[in-house]
A and B are shown apart, each in its own frame.
Chain A
Amino acid sequence: MKISSKLIAGLACALAVALFPAHAQETVKIGVITDKVGPAKPYAEPITQGIEVGAAEINAKGGVLGRKIELMIEDDQGKPDVSATMARKLVDSGAVFILSVSLTPATQQAQTVSLATKTPQMTPSNSGDTLTTQIDNPYFWQTGPLGSIQIATLLSYAGTKNYKRAALVSDNSDLGQLLARFFRSGLEKADIQVVSEELISRGATSAEPQMQKVRAANPDVLVSAGVLTAENVLMLKAYRQLGLKMPLLASYNFSVPVYMSVAKGLLDGVTFVDAYDPAKPEVKAFEATYKRVTGKDPFNLHGYGYDGMRLVADAIQRAGAVDKEKIKAAIQATDFAGVMGAKGMKYRFPAGKRTGFDPNGMVVRVYEGDRQGRVVHVGQGKPQ
């Protein structure tokens, strides 16, 4: 049978299409290490959602350097060894940047991989001060508000109240212990005597023994450095049950909106440090974007992830290439206004530093009834 030349050409084209698929558009691969099942999940989940919204917004505007962002999300279960394994997996899969939003020890362990592979890594949310000091890793940055900044902001506010004696309460999580250390050190430097230091264990069924000790010590103020929400609520319940009247100053954990439902009726007058000023124009724009994309209202934790994603995209854009060394240089030169922080705050990394949250960028707010109320203090020296 004679086969026409046209038929042969058509078959050849079809074969070529089948064997050689169209060259897929390259993406910019950003790795995200989160905690989907472990103790960091209450924080990591909304932060990851913020990253996803940030990436979606950037892709809707054409991506970065003409390429879409591809998020590769891995779950480290809050475990340091798994976090390092996931970091290695992401690097091997082509990630040019890693965002870590799990527990502080897990982020720390993942740094061993970012250092060894010279892959830029950033945590937009972890507040452990030791993340940039324990390992000399020029490929790691931290834009979460440091525990030391939190305590300095709270102390700046406390300084306006002339407190002399403080009780300090924390929990037995790694971050809670780290924050308690910084809070204690900060209180002592401010000449505020720590007359009682109590710890509420994860899984405790009562905080009355600890609050009785606080009551017996008769402090001017109670400072909460805990980061476990359920245990903080337990402490708050005991505080109210035992009729304690001294003011309660709390870490930024109290800024998580869940307190308004799980500690209803118990919050009025509690002051807490936060990195989210709802009156800020960038916050209003973010809330509108998030609602449009997801149909839900965001809260402060979403903002960390959203800022982290946009900051990374900004760095890649300024780097001009998807090259790890160029991205590293660009990150270090960041000058970025995000959602988080007080009005006017920008993320910047001073020379030789890899922490980018402005020391004057936190605010102190007060619960009014069960609602997160107004800002009463900004940074480390500006009372409202």
Chain B
Amino acid sequence: MRDFLELSVSAAASGCVYGLVALAYLLMIRPTGIVNFAVGELAMLAAFGGYVTHSLMQLSYPAGLAAVLLVMLGVGWLTERIAVRPLLERGAPILAPILALLGMLVIFRESISLTFSPDPYPVPYAFGFGRLELGPLSGSYQSFFIIATTLAVFAGAWFFFERTVAGKCFEAVALNRRAAALMGINLARVTTLAFAAGAGAAGLAGILVGANISAHYLMGVPLAIQGFTALVIGGVGRVEGALLGGLLLAFAEQLTVRYAPIAAGYAQAVPFLFLMIFLLVRPTGLLQAKRVA
């Protein structure tokens, strides 16, 4: 039981990271229909930002985190202006910006690869490397910090979409872009905000998980795959689905590695197995979008 409870904290933390990456996808997909596979590289950029602000600029953790997230909002805005808006304004098919964003993936990764050495870089912990015991649960300080931060972000995202006018605008665009435009909603502003917020969510995932996995130029693709799988499991329709999908994926992964009587190598197939099962059986994911009465 001790192992299971200990593992639950680790799996919950990993699930929260996957959930944040899934949220990044979701924020960009909902109003635009565009899948941005560069979200993993956005997380990578933020992880390197964490290294730079802490190790090179000697900023405190809160200041460094805030600085990195601000920069990531800017990166999201810039990505939308360079790779998405020009194509949408010219009436390009949806595949065009998706391919352009794959190009951005390569640009981000190679920029980091050329700027830094190929070795991993340390990303700071929020509260150091220690371990915390909360009743029967025990885990690293960073795991608990990841869980708490992610819950706060998702609570904020839920509140934004359910209780604010701007959030309703987002939903309106997601339901019907043309009708939303006719109702006076500024589509360009919603798209920009979606990409900025998505980059922010991906960046937060990167800087949080970077403390464990270190910042390195190849860290983006695995995160992108895990986040996308979490999105498919949870469903694109609701914000909370991203978190649910991430948690289910992480628990399945880690419990399989720990308890399944199979060779360790097979356990890495779990995310892909989940992806295939959900695409076949429930392609809309576990949580469906709320229907208007």
Contact = CB atoms under 8 A, between A and B. Distances in A.
Instruction: Give the interface SS of chain B, mostly helix, strand, loop or mixed.
Output: helix
Interface in B192-226: 209, 212-214, 216, 218-219, 221-223, 225-226
Interface stretch (A109-117, A194-202, A341-349): A194-202
A233 interface: yes
B110 interface: yes
B213 A205 contact: yes
B219 A206 contact: no
Q: Which 3 A-B pairs have the closest CB atoms?
A: A203-B222, A199-B264, A41-B118
Interface of A: 37, 39, 41-42, 45, 172, 197-199, 201-206, 208-210, 212-213, 216, 229-230, 233-234, 237, 240-242, 256, 258, 261-262, 264-266
Interface residues of B, number: 40
A181 to B, nearest CB: 12
B290 to A, nearest CB: 31
Interface string B256-283: 0110000011011000000000000000
Contact of A208 (B118, B216, B254): B254
Contacts of B221: 203
B6 A212 contact: yes
A141 B241 CA distance: 55
B14 A205 contact: yes
B40 to A, nearest CB: 9
B89 interface: no
B74 interface: no
Given A256-B119, A262-B121, A205 B209 contact: yes
B131 A241 contact: yes
B120 A258 contact: yes
Interface string B1-37: 0010011001101100100000000000000000000
27 contacts: A42-B118, A45-B117, A45-B118, A198-B264, A199-B265, A199-B267, A201-B267, A203-B221, A205-B17, A205-B209, A205-B212, A208-B6, A208-B10, A209-B257, A210-B257, A212-B258, A213-B257, A229-B214, A230-B120, A233-B120, A234-B212, A237-B129, A240-B129, A258-B119, A261-B122, A262-B122, A266-B129
B140 A241 contact: yes
B186 interface: no
